[in-house]
């Protein structure tokens, strides 16, 4: 007996017991009652990926059922792509019943924007864009001295949430990314100013998510909270999910800065002392071009990446995001202010 999921050869050996008869239940509990030591080998019924997938779909459906106007943060980055894929599975054969929201730093990789637009078109979704550039042009935001725009995303994000009256926003945050994120709830309340109060979070019990909020507050929902980077990549492989090409090894003109390889582009120009060379690289995150670094890698296929990630000794944020290096509490501070 087997379940036909995309993970085709999963055997459900436990179910082959005559689990339906009360006797079987009784026998099992008797066995358990007599011992106070491990009850023998566990028989895996679902793989960890299947369990994580089901948990995420449950969360996505809960939010859609309980909120008036959810939206999904979609950057074209792998975590948001996986989230959107999970949403398509959650409502199949129906359409994903909410729009996607992208905060455009104006420093995005053009191929990621292209990928975003193709995905939205393919799924028949509405795309809402919050633009950092517009806020800079209107003087509501000031360009930072270091040129990095990641921290500037918070204001356009909150503005888009308010203007569109989104009461729940799906984010692709994972608890394994960062120590502050490790304490994040799956449904996380944000006040009128979009702020996160890590010391005053609702306890989250069983699979009962409490998304109640008052007018002006909203909730961030993190369906893939419990996934690791490796889970995400294994899932991308298993489900055959398309990603922007940047995630795979390619030749690119780069220069070294802050211990990372930076791409040469409109917003990321080498200083005179920085030498430009061509390297075979890939990206582990695809954020703001001005602060996202590439890693040297020959991983050209999803299989190669899975192996590389499993073997890697550097976390993705540590390796490639300059903005998280500023201080040990960098992410906590940004999250408190309403960042993703």
Give the footprint of other proteins on residues 306-335 (CB under 8 A): 306-308, 310-315, 318-319, 328-329, 332
Contact 262, 283 (CB under 8 A): no
Taking CB under 8 A as the criterion, which residues in 192-211 touch other proteins?
A: 198-199, 201-208, 210
Query: Measured from the CB atom, is 54 or 195 closer to other proteins?
Result: 54
Burial 192-202 (b: 16+ CB within 10 A, else e): eebebeeeeee
Question: Of the listed pieces 87-95, 109-117, 151-159, 266-274, which binds other proteins according to CB under 8 A?
Answer: 87-95
- CB of 196 vs other proteins, minimal distance in Å: 11
Question: x/- contact string, 122-141, with other proteins (CB under 8 A)?
Answer: xxx-----------------
**What DSSP line would sit under 148-196, residue for residue?**
--GGGGHHHHHHHHHHTT-SEEE----GGG-TTGGG--SEEEE-TT---
Q: How far apart are CA 325 and CA 247, in angstroms?
A: 22
User: How many binding residues for other proteins (CB under 8 A)?
Assistant: 111
Taking CB under 8 A as the criterion, which residues in 149-168 touch other proteins?
A: none
Question: Of the listed pieces 19-27, 99-107, 127-135, 264-272, which binds other proteins according to CB under 8 A?
Answer: 19-27
Taking CB under 8 A as the criterion, which residues in 235-294 touch other proteins?
A: 256, 259-261
Query: Measured from the CB atom, is 7 or 133 closer to other proteins?
Result: 7
Query: Measured from the CB atom, is 35 or 142 closer to other proteins?
Result: 35
Query: Measured from the CB atom, is 114 or 242 closer to other proteins?
Result: 242
- CB of 238 vs other proteins, minimal distance in Å: 8
Taking CB under 8 A as the criterion, which residues in 21-80 touch other proteins?
A: 21-22, 24-26, 28-30, 32-33, 35-55, 57-58, 61-62, 64-65
Q: How far apart are CA 325 and CA 314, in angstroms?
A: 13
Of the candidate residues 3, 276, 277, 300, the single one contacting other proteins (CB under 8 A): 3
The three-class DSSP label of residue 263 is strand
Contact 310, 136 (CB under 8 A): no
Count of Cβ atoms closer than 10 Å to residue 51 Cβ: 13
**What DSSP line would sit under 220-259, residue for residue?**
EE-TTTT--HHHHHHHHHHHT----GGGS-EEEEEEEETT
Question: Of the listed pieces 18-26, 106-114, 128-136, 157-165, which binds other proteins according to CB under 8 A?
Answer: 18-26
**1 alpha-carbon distance from chain centroid:** 34
- CB of 340 vs other proteins, minimal distance in Å: 17
Q: How far apart are CA 136 and CA 142, in angstroms?
A: 6
């Amino acid at each position: 007996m087997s379940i036909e999921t995309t993970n085709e050869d999963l055997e459900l050996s436990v179910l082959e017991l005559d689990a339906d008869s009360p006797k079987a239940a009784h026998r099992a509990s008797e066995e358990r009652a007599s011992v106070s030591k491990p009850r023998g080998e566990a028989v895996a019924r679902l793989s960890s990926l299947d369990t994580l997938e089901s948990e995420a779909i449950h969360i996505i459906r809960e939010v859609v059922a309980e909120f008036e106007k959810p939206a999904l943060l979609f950057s074209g980055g792998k975590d948001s792509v996986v989230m959107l894929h999970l949403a398509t599975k959650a409502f199949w054969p129906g359409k994903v019943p909410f729009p996607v929201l992208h905060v455009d730093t104006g420093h995005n990789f053009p191929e990621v924007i292209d990928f975003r637009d193709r995905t939205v078109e393919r799924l028949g979704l509405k795309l809402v864009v919050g633009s950092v550039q517009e806020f800079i042009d209107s003087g509501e935001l000031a360009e930072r001295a270091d040129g990095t725009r990641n921290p500037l995303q918070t204001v356009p994000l909150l503005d888009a949430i308010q203007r569109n009256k989104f009461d729940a926003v799906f984010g692709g945050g994972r608890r394994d990314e960062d120590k502050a994120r490790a304490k994040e709830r799956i449904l996380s309340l944000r006040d009128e100013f979009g702020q996160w109060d890590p010391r005053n979070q609702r306890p989250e019990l069983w699979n009962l998510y409490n998304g109640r909020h008052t007018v002006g507050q909203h909730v961030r929902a993190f369906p893939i909270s419990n996934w690791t980077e490796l889970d995400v990549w294994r899932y991308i492989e298993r489900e055959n999910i398309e990603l922007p090409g940047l995630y795979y090894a390619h030749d690119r003109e780069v220069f070294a800065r802050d211990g990372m390889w930076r791409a040469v582009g409109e917003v990321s120009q080498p200083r005179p002392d920085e030498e430009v060379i061509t390297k075979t690289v890939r990206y582990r995150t695809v954020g703001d071009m001005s602060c996202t670094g590439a890693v040297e890698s020959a991983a050209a296929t999803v299989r190669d990446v899975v192996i590389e990630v499993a073997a890697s000794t550097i976390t993705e944020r540590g390796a490639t995001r300059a903005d998280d290096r500023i201080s040990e509490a960098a992410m906590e501070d940004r999250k408190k202010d309403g960042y993703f």
